[in-house]
């Protein structure tokens, strides 16, 4: 493909924000072009959310089978031979899921009549860019531009990516499970991947500069994760700082000021992500900035008329589902609908062991009623051995009105309740509302019901 295109809408970036924006624009009858330099699906589908969750699932299954092969066994299940992990085969299964979903995105774009241009876009002004494709240079002049360029892993200057130092991207493409893995950064990405590799047999150490893991969550929520890490033999160094690589591994400064070396075959650096603002001509577009992010209003409009920005490019939370919601909204605004981005709450999930969900506010004061219900008292949790790891659901509501303003939970498979939590808050449900909802038995969702009852002062099962 070469030549000039003049669409109504140009979307730059084929991740969960960009491809959703393009699909919705196409559905609304807008002539749309999507430019993507890599595979369709973006970081989330290709190098992040999806492949990491596949790896986490495989690792958990391997750990379950390995436990059944011990003398103690598991649930009365005993195996005479320990399982063997063929990691390249596991990686192939993971890659197959990515391929299927990426191909599905391509099909959805075709169905919506979106033209996809594979190449790197470089803007010469706010509405014009050149795209270098394998077949030649394509010039695109658009009436509207949606910037959805995403983010990239933050690289530490003293731990540049390469050789033994990995970003999450490389960690998901390893040929083998490393014998010794050090993870720098105890946020959700580092703990998710560190947990998975520990389950697959790696000796994992974690280095975190803050005084506790998952610094954005309160310690009540993270305590079950801490206990699992201790039980699994994962060494966690809190208040510690990575200093650099040496022959044997990673040199760190401990909280006491001592310097030690953590043996490592690989070092995974997960200290955050930064918006991808370089290399595509941001400086040519005259866009106002908000720190390192592109500044937008509540419609995701930038300071330049008919230029929009969504997803990781515009700030926290840097979550795929936020980007998708913004992309859908912007497409509808361009089509003439009246929309603005004003969610009451955006759910955040950590796929650690056990999982953590947080929606809405997570700090209560005298203005709130709080109800917390343990999974230890939930029949479904006990029936799948998920009731004794300290899991719970906590509901926070306004004292005067009973309106639910926050729900947090930690426990196995709790991510599947994030939708219910978000709906309760987004729809303005009260404690009386959730008390009146009949939840199926036996399910984990009953803990959401009971935590609401607890906040009202009359939980039934504790």
Q: What's the mean pLDDT in 270-293? A: 95
Residue whose pair of structure tokens reads 């790696």 in the numeric block:
202
Judge whether residue 108 has pLDDT over 70. yes
| CATH 3.50.50.60 for domain 3-45+94-153+274-334 | yes
Question: Domain map of the chain by residue range?
Answer: 3-45+94-153+274-334, 165-271, 348-456
- Angstrom CA distances, 185 to 271, 377, 408, 437, stand at 5, 34, 23, 40
Residue 71, pLDDT score = 87
Question: What is the distance of C-alpha 161 from the center of its chain?
Answer: 21
- Angstrom CA distances, 257 to 61, 194, 205, 376, stand at 39, 25, 18, 40
Confidence of residue 282 (pLDDT cuts 50, 70, 90): very high
Decide: helix, strand or coil at residue 56.
helix
Residue 1, pLDDT score = 55
203-255 pLDDT per residue, tens: 999 999 999 999 999 999 999 999 999 999 999 999 999 999 999 999 999 99
What CATH code would you report for 348-456? Answer: 3.30.390.30
Judge whether residue 2 has pLDDT over 80. no
What are the backbone angles phi and psi of residue 24, rounded to the nearest 5°? -65, -40
Q: Identify the H or E element spanning 169.
A: helix 168-171
Confidence of residue 281 (pLDDT cuts 50, 70, 90): very high
Average per-residue pLDDT in the chain?
96
Question: What is the distance of C-alpha 317 from the center of its chain?
Answer: 10
Same fold for the domain at 3-45+94-153+274-334 and the one at 348-456? no
- Looking at CATH, the fold of the domain delimited by 165-271 is given as FAD/NAD(P)-binding domain (3.50.50)
Number of H helices and number of E strands within the chain?
12, 26
C-alpha to C-alpha distance for 271 and 411, rounded to whole angstroms? 25
445-457 pLDDT per residue, tens: 999 999 999 999 9
Q: Which of 441, 449, 458, 461 is catalytic?
A: 441
Decide: helix, strand or coil at residue 435.
helix
Q: Is 441 a catalytic residue?
A: yes
C-alpha to C-alpha distance for 98 and 234, rounded to whole angstroms? 29
373-384 pLDDT per residue, tens: 999 999 999 999
């Amino acid at each position: 493909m070469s030549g000039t295109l003049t669409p109504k809408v140009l979307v730059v970036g084929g991740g969960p924000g960009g491809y959703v924006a393009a699909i919705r624009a196409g559905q609304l009858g807008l002539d749309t072009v999507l430019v993507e330099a890599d595979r369709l699906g973006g970081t989330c589908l290709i190098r992040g959310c999806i492949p990491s969750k596949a790896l986490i699932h495989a690792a958990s299954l391997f750990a379950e089978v390995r436990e059944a092969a011990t003398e103690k066994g598991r649930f009365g299940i005993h195996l005479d031979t320990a399982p063997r992990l063929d990691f390249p085969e596991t990686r192939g299964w993971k890659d197959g899921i990515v391929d299927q979903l990426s191909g599905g995105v391509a099909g959805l774009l075709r169905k919506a009549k979106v033209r996809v241009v594979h190449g790197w876009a470089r803007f010469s002004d706010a509405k014009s860019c050149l795209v270098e494709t394998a077949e030649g240079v394509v010039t695109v002049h658009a009436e509207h531009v949606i910037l959805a360029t995403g983010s990239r892993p933050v690289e530490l200057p003293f731990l540049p990516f390469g050789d033994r130092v990995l970003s999450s991207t490389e960690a998901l493409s390893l040929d083998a499970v490393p014998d010794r893995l050090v993870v720098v950064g105890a946020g959700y990405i580092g703990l998710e991947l560190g947990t998975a590799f520990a389950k697959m047999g790696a000796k994992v150490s974690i280095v975190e500069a803050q005084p506790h893991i998952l610094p954005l969550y309160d310690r009540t929520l993270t305590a079950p994760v801490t206990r699992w890490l201790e039980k699994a033999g994962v060494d966690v160094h809190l208040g510690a700082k990575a200093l650099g690589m040496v022959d044997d591994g990673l040199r760190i400064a401990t909280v006491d000021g001592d310097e030690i070396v953590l043996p490592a075959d690989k070092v995974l650096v997960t200290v955050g992500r930064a918006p991808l603002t370089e290399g595509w001509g941001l400086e040519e577009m005259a866009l106002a900035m908000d720190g390192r992010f592109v500044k937008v209003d509540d419609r995701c409009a930038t300071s330049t008329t008919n230029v929009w920005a969504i997803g990781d490019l515009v700030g926290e939370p840097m979550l795929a589902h936020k980007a998708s919601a913004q992309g859908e909204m912007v497409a509808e605004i361009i089509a003439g609908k009246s929309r603005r981005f004003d969610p009451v709450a955006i759910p955040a999930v950590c796929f650690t062991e056990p999982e953590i969900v947080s929606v809405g506010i997570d700090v209560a004061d005298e203005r709130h009623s709080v109800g917390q219900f343990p999974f230890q008292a939930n029949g479904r949790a006990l029936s799948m051995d998920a009731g004794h790891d300290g899991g719970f659901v906590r509901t926070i509501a306004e004292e005067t009105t009973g309106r639910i303003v926050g729900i947090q939970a930690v426990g196995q498979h709790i991510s599947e309740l994030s939708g219910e939590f978000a709906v309760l808050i987004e729809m303005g449900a009260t404690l009386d509302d959730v008390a009146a909802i009949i939840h199926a038995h036996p399910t984990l969702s009953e803990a959401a019901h009971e935590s609401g009852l607890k906040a009202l002062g009359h939980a039934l099962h504790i």
